Every structure is written in C-alpha cells, then in structure tokens.
Amino acid sequence: MSNPSLEITFEFQVQHGSNGSGGEHTDSLEQHMLFEHTRASLERDIRRKLGRIVCGEHHEAPKIHITCTYDALNDQMDVNWNIDTCCKLFFVQVVKTLNQVN
C-alpha cells in the first residue's frame, strides 16, 4: 500500500554580478545560514498549506522543486517554483492552495 506524500526539494544558487572583482565580499557561512533560513521557512509554509493534499482522481501527492537564487550584488533572494503533479487539474488546485494567504 503506497502512501503518497508531499515531496519538497531545494536548490540554491549564488549570483555574483558581473564586475568580476573577487568574491571575498560575500561570506559563505552567511549565505549558508541565509539559505537554511529560507529553506526552513518555505518548507514550513508549504507543509502547513499543502499538508496531506493529494489528487482526488489519481491519489498522487505533488512534487515541489524550489530554486533559490541569491543575488550577491543586490542582496536579494529570487525564488522560483517548479510544481510537478500527476495532472493539470491537480496542478491548478495546488497553485490555488499555495496562493491562499492563510
């Protein structure tokens, strides 16, 4: 008996801008903590919202892949979502649920 569960994966990238002068300005430990913080809060938020959501027709849980790109030059975090579902209908449902404020 399979028990579908929500799958969340993360990928982090750092963008260093274009003025190629050494990367000494950015502290990798600091970035690591920033990523960890982002990952933890996103994952908590997603699990709270999607919890045990499964497709009503296929009984599949969504797979969510999140790519966070840290722009070291502007000190900004860009978050890209990639949501993988068994069908389009369920995809719409997942997106709708994620976009709900609470």
Asked if residue 58 binds Zn ion (CB under 5 A), the reply is yes
Q: DSSP assignment of the chain, as one string? A: ------EEEEEEEEE--SS-S-STTS-HHHHHHHHHHHHHHHHHHHHHHHTT---TTT----EEEEEEEEETTTTEEEEEEEEE-SSHHHHHHHHHHHHS--
Asked if residue 87 binds Zn ion (CB under 5 A), the reply is yes
- CB closer to Zn ion out of 11 and 57: 57
- CB closer to Zn ion out of 4 and 12: 4
Asked if residue 90 binds Zn ion (CB under 5 A), the reply is yes
Asked if residue 86 binds Zn ion (CB under 5 A), the reply is yes
